[in-house]
Amino acid sequence: MAVAAVALVAAGVGAVVGTSLERGTGSASTGGTSSSATTPTTAGSVSSNSLDVQAIAKKVDPALVDITTVLGYQNGEAAGTGMILTSSGEVLTNNHVVDGGTKITAQIDGKGRVYQVKVLGVDPTDDVALLQLEGASGLQTVHLGNSASVAVGEPVVAIGNALDLPGAPTVTEGIISALGRTINASDAGSGLTETLHGMLQTDAPINPGNSGGPLLDSAGQVIGMNTAAASGSSTQSASNIGFAIPINRAAHIASEIRAGDFSGSIERGSKAFLGVEVESPSVVTQSGQAGSPFGGFPGFGGAATSPTPATSSGAYVVEVLPDTAASSSGLAAGDVITGVDGKTVTSPSQLSSVLGTLQPGAKAQIRWVTPSDQTEHATVTLGSGPIG
């Protein structure tokens, strides 16, 4: 069975032609990403003479945004594309375009005003996110088609912020080469792995930065959201095999987010953030040093050795992130968090669960035990954490 590498197609800012397809959730120097997936059998190429690519691009470009995501706790940036759904600035894109973001901005058609972005909600399972351009009004919108009526061999156009190049979006054309594909994609940099079902397959070239952009039919209507591309393997070429989420599914998820239906796999965009990387006290005691982060943010390793925890129950603080609620509270590496708002915390996962019930901006009383076995507490104002 043929195997190809499938990668999510957001791009590290500064990506250049010739890099492997990557999600780019680290800096531009982050290595390429790949995962194994069954390569679909593609339909034979057909003529796309029925497409007026120039007219489609002219119609759709003003309703697209270039998205830049600052990954403040990972020291990097990522770039992608978004589709404007409402004149007031609601934007549809992939979850992986904004995942881990601490600051997100967008620019329409690669020029003009740079908007600050609020994430209204995300669905990590289906890789969908709904954004709001702050202060936007009177914007041009995309026109949604019906992905249920898409047929193999149908000519299509893919538009997006390919390779995060300046200027207007990049336009490519091809056909729908298969329907209903299931793919597995992962990003070696972030560790994100996802399985996506029912995908539209196209031979229209899709590159890093295209994530969240539209796959369009001959009428310029959106039938899919570009999400991933096959980048080949050492034994097989897999160029120009891309995958898009059917727009009917993506639009339905967006409507649930808009309605505030945060259930199942749909999550709020902004989450309460204390600002600590934590580990189980028992793990620290057994190893004699802080291990892999649990309940915090990957990429922030603790010191080679850490103070011995004074209690075996709670969430051991491996690191306090700067300019956060935790850094202003007096919490320090080696402390063990044992309570939040009167609720006992017995593990890192329970700390995450308790904080998950609170909103950014809420005040919370944190209780902890120092390495010298002293109990301390402080009331903090929780911040807004990275997306995802």
Rounded average pLDDT over 149-167: 92
- Give the per-residue pLDDT at 187: 62
Residue among 211, 231, 270, 306 flagged as catalytic = 211
Instruction: With respect to residue 263, please indicate whether it lies within any of the assigned structural domains.
Output: no
192 and 92 in one domain?
yes
Instruction: With respect to residue 116, please indicate whether it lies within any of the assigned structural domains.
Output: yes
Q: Do the beta carbons of residue 86 and residue 371 sit within 8 Å?
A: no
Element (H, E) at 66: strand 64-71
Per-residue pLDDT at 360 exceeds 60: yes
Per-residue pLDDT at 331 exceeds 80: yes
- Residues paired with residue 364 on neighbouring β-strands, in sequence order: 380
pLDDT band, very low/low/confident/very high, at 232 (cuts 50, 70, 90): low
Any idea what DSSP says for residue 164? G
202 and 292 in one domain?
no
Give the CATH number, domain containing residue 308: 2.30.42.10
pLDDT band, very low/low/confident/very high, at 296 (cuts 50, 70, 90): very low
Of residues 239 and 173, more confidence is placed in: 173
The pTM for the full model equals: 0.78
Instruction: With respect to residue 15, please indicate whether it lies within any of the assigned structural domains.
Output: yes
% helix / strand / coil in the chain, to the nearest 5? 15, 35, 50
Per-residue exposure over 236-267, b if at least 16 CB sit within 10 Å of its own CB, e if not = eebebbbbbbbbbbbbebbebbeeeeeeeebb
Q: Do the beta carbons of residue 36 and residue 86 sit within 8 Å?
A: no
- Give the per-residue pLDDT at 5: 61
Burial class (CB in 10 A: 0-12, 13-18, 19+), 357: exposed
- Give the per-residue pLDDT at 271: 81
Choosing from 258, 285, 318, the residue where a domain stops is 258
210 and 67 in one domain?
yes
Residue among 99, 123, 126, 127 flagged as catalytic = 127
Rounded average pLDDT over 170-182: 94
Active site residue 282: no
- Give the per-residue pLDDT at 239: 60
Give the CATH number, domain containing residue 78: 2.40.10.120
- Give the per-residue pLDDT at 131: 98
- Give the per-residue pLDDT at 238: 47
Residue-range definition of the domain harbouring residue 335:
272-384
pLDDT digits (tens, 9 = 90+) for 87-96: 999 999 999 9
Rounded average pLDDT over 249-268: 93
Per-residue pLDDT at 266 exceeds 80: yes
Of residues 13 and 387, more confidence is placed in: 387
Instruction: With respect to residue 288, please indicate whether it lies within any of the assigned structural domains.
Output: yes
94 and 204 in one domain?
yes
- Give the per-residue pLDDT at 186: 67
Active site residue 127: yes
- Give the per-residue pLDDT at 71: 87
Residue among 66, 96, 99, 190 flagged as catalytic = 96
pLDDT digits (tens, 9 = 90+) for 124-144: 999 999 999 999 999 999 999
**Tally of domains within the chain:** 2
What's the sign of the alpha-carbon dihedral 17, 20, 26, 30?
negative
Per-residue pLDDT at 2 exceeds 50: no
Active site residue 211: yes
pLDDT digits (tens, 9 = 90+) for 30-58: 223 333 333 333 343 344 457 899 999 99
pLDDT digits (tens, 9 = 90+) for 306-321: 788 989 899 999 999 8
Instruction: With respect to residue 264, please indicate whether it lies within any of the assigned structural domains.
Output: no
129 and 187 in one domain?
yes
- Give the per-residue pLDDT at 302: 42
The residue written with tokens 């600050």 in the block is: 116
